[in-house]
Structure 1
Amino acid sequence: MTDHAPAIPPYWTRLGSFFLYPLSLEPLLACCGFGVLAGLASMFFVPANLVLWAVLLVATLRYGYKVLERTALGHLDDSQTLFDSAHGGKYLPYKQFVVIAVGLTICAYVASVAGPHAALVLLALFGLLLPANTMLLALTNELGESMSPPRLWALIRGIGMPYLGLCACLLLLSSGHGALFGLLASVVPAGLLGVLFGFLGGYFTIVMFRLMGYALYQYHGELGLAVDVGFERQATAIAPPDPVRQRAAQSAELLKEGRYDEAIAVARGDVVERPGDLSANLRLHRLLLAVPGQTQAMLAHARDWLPALTRVGQESYAIEVLEAIWQHQPDYQPAQAGAILPLATALLAARRGDGAARLIREFDRRFPGHADTPAIYLLGARLLIEHKRDEAQARRVLAALRQRYPESPAAAEAARLDELLDRLAAAAGGNPA
């Protein structure tokens, strides 16, 4: 993976997908096959039923190992698990039995020498190592290597603390089969209990092995595991193509080729399709601004789009659009009175006092009786103080505001601003005007 490769989502954020995976076509058919085999085993007597149960166990584990292996290699949308494997995995279930037998034998020996408590501690440690052993078996198909303490420790250290969470999830899943079977046994006909047992066993086995495979894929960089499908390709394969990005890329390519009219047509079509979308309108605005001969088209689009920007709180982009209009039409004023105050406030905050002053000039004459007039007066006083350093004129504006609109919130703010000017004048040793 490159430095800019997207991060693989952690396994704990994908638990739902692991439960859904066995319900896709091929795993579901496999689970149904396990159910049928278990149903047949429940119908026969010893020793035929024992043979069928053994075949079922081997078949379930063998399929689980193939799911684990191919998931670890990045085949998250795999549809060929049953017939495709890097090393076949034919004997992996038997090697798993050997590992379990060796572990239980060691625990029994420790129990005879050091007592049951030491054996229980060793058994718990064996349980913690079993997932790592299973993952190594799936990757290497080597019994000795999967039991090697250095290899086991390297895998656990590569995953880190999330390995303990993985073990906890696997422990819960291993008990889920029996718990769910117990819940459903009372409502399922007795003749189908064997089928249900086999189906649920296959289902939970596939979920567990899918989880282990995904954990290996998540940490394949730390583990030095070469994967077939990197997450860059994975994200591309999983996510549907984004038509918005496709059109943006198409427009950019047309610009590079000098096909300006076609690029503008693509951008304009995007705006027609998504008239309220910020990125589409911004792309069209900047394109019209950059292409020679498109001034009138830019002005027409900008004048229509500007009020919408102020309504959705995008004043920073509104300033960009407004200043682009002023470059070609210096006397332009928005026709909507409600757009003036937020735009002027944003211009003042951006330290563009001249633009704010131009915007609010003669607001009360252009929009007589408008509800924003007191706030515009207050903004004008702030402009006089902060940008013109004309406190005397600012006081006159504040006095007019308090006299004409005494009940407005702006009048109360004007009184506080007046008091602040008085304190500043007193501190400077002057007299209030």
Structure 2
Amino acid sequence: MDCKYHDNKQALWHCEECDIPFCMDCVEVEAQMSAPRCVLCRRYLASYGVSQHVEPFWNRLNTFYQYPLQKPAKSFLLFYAIASLVIGFLIDIIPIGFVGLILRLALMAMLVSYVFSVLSKTAKGDFIAPTYDQTVTYDSDGMTVKVIGLFILLFLGGVAITGKFSYTGLYLYLLFVAFIIPAVLVTLGMSKHLSSSINPLNILETIAGIGFPYLILFGLVTVITYSLSWATFFINYWLPDPVVFLMSQTATGFFYIMMFHILGYVVYQYHAELGYGVDIEVLATNENADLTVEQRAMAHADIYIQEGRYQDAKDKLLEAGQNLKFQEAAYHKLVKLNLVKQDMAGTIKAAKLYFDNPELKSHAYNAFSLYQQIRRLEPRFRPMNANARAILIEQVRHKNQAEEVAWLAQDLEEKFAQDPNLPQALLAQAKYFAEIEHEDTKAATILKQLIENHPQGAHRFEAEQLLKACQAMMA
């Protein structure tokens, strides 16, 4: 379903009171909101779900591998590699199996706490890798013990299947486990309950919530797992024993950080379908990274105009105009709105804001068109700054518009004697007489006065060249 006010954007929210679908641009978002508000009635909106709005995870494959290269992740990997080196050395010199097991579990706990922190952080829309300090707080729920418990349960399930159905049953069981493991890890990471992660109903709900793309997720996890296996194989084959443990553990850390980031992003993409909350402000920030307060105000103004709430629309346009990037569009629309309402005072006030824009030259065509519309309502109107006058005169390219030039140039030197843009306005007037009217005498007179009264400035060279051309035509 499309947004009512923006046909090219998908609706993400629905106001039950107004019965209106909204896109993200249209909604009212404030910090600490549990959901955005309707800009018309101020009631909270219901979500349509955002899985089609968030960039699909399969379109971000080229970015996932970069996640472990972020500074916090690299710092963790360095710390993890040093710990692996030390533990590998201790395992070699302490020939006691129980001690080796404890050391390996300690290393595992370090990685488990970090990767589940990655999953949780990404699922909430925060794509900055966590520091290791943040994982200490996260692992207060004992994720390491729960992961060990999960693998013990899966192992016991495999033993039971093998005892009853032999190795054929075991192969099918392993294939089944490989297929459900992404859903199991997602459920464990988000609920933090071992019982929830192995609940068949929860697993089915996760797979169904993601839908067909779950097959893509399963494929990605499988590829990462086999890539890690091959990397470990080559490390064991080519490298000497003292560095095998270090390199294999570092590779494991890298691949698992990437995999859990993918799992977290899938939760972020399908959070509405999976029933996990994502802070609305984070969602708005991630999906509208370039959407400023002013740009949202522009979208809200469109809503108010279509709903006939013109004063609210004017307020929003004035708000949007505070940002130079949106100033031309906001004030242009404000002038047009006042013109439609035949509000002369409002039109003149808005026109002053519009023609005072320092970037007006880049919108010269629109500025001249708007100026003509304003004059149809108020024939006495003309901008009260030399820059706007110069820009408008430059847009006059026909002889039948000579009156416009005369009107715009009528009081230039009297009103704008101290305006630094006065020379440009006079030069524009001279160019009109020389190039459009072919009245070289008038043009030369203006140019001589311009050079005499304003001898310094960027205009001088062009004025002198044009004066020479006019004098040559007069000879």
TM range (shorter): 0.5 to 0.7
The structural deviation recorded for 1:174 is 1.7
Alignment of 1:251-400 (within 5 A): 267=321, 279=329, 282-283=332-333, 285-286=335-336, 292=345, 295=348, 298=351, 322-329=372-379, 335-337=396-398
What is aligned with 2:177?
126
What is aligned with 2:154?
100
What is aligned with 2:56?
10
1:177 aligns with 2:212: no
What is aligned with 2:85?
39
Amino acid at match of 1:236: T
1:232 aligns with 2:298: no
The structural deviation recorded for 1:219 is 1.9
Cα pair 1:5 1:232 within 8 Å, conserved: no
The structural deviation recorded for 1:49 is 4.6
Q: For 1:230 and 1:328, how far apart are their aligned partners in 2?
A: 50
The structural deviation recorded for 1:23 is 3.2
Q: Report Cα offsets for 1:166-217 as digits up to 9, x if no partner.
A: 1111112223334556788999898555433222211211221222122223
**What secondary structure, in the 3-state scheme, does the structure 1 residue paired with 2:345 have?**
coil
Aligned-pair identity (%):
20
Cα pair 1:177 1:201 within 8 Å, conserved: yes
The structural deviation recorded for 1:144 is 3.4
The structural deviation recorded for 1:29 is 2.8
The structural deviation recorded for 1:133 is 1.6
Q: For 1:265 and 1:94, how far apart are their aligned partners in 2?
A: 56
Q: TM-score, normalised by structure 1?
A: 0.58
The structural deviation recorded for 1:163 is 1.2
Q: Report Cα offsets for 1:75-129 as digits up to 9, x if no partner.
A: 44455233235734241221232133134224423542xx63x543332122101
Q: For 1:299 and 1:147, how far apart are their aligned partners in 2?
A: 67
What is aligned with 2:260?
209
Q: For 1:296 and 1:144, how far apart are their aligned partners in 2?
A: 66
What is aligned with 1:242?
292
What is aligned with 1:352?
none
Q: Which runs of 5+ in 1 are unaligned?
A: 341-365, 370-433
Q: For 1:20 and 1:35, how far apart are their aligned partners in 2?
A: 19
How large is the RMSD of aligned CA atoms in angstroms? 5.0
Structure 1 residues 153 and 326 mapped into 2: Cα distance closer, same or farther (>3 Å)? same
1:53 aligns with 2:117: no
Q: 1:91 aligns with which of 136, 139, 145?
A: 145
Deviates more, 1:98-107 or 1:328-337: 328-337
The structural deviation recorded for 1:157 is 0.9
The answer to which structure, 1 or 2, has the higher relative contact order (CA under 8 A, 6+ apart) is: 1
Cα pair 2:112 2:144 within 8 Å, conserved: no
Amino acid at match of 2:66: L
Q: For 2:144 and 2:350, how far apart are their aligned partners in 1?
A: 69
**Structure whose alpha-carbon radius of gyration is higher:** 1
Structure 1 residues 166 and 283 mapped into 2: Cα distance closer, same or farther (>3 Å)? same
Q: For 2:203 and 2:379, how far apart are their aligned partners in 1?
A: 73
**What secondary structure, in the 3-state scheme, does the structure 2 residue paired with 1:279 have?**
helix
What is aligned with 1:143?
194
Q: 2:70 aligns with which of 19, 24, 28?
A: 24
Amino acid at match of 2:205: A
Q: How many residues align?
A: 325
Amino acid at match of 1:326: R
The structural deviation recorded for 1:160 is 1.0
What is aligned with 2:119?
68
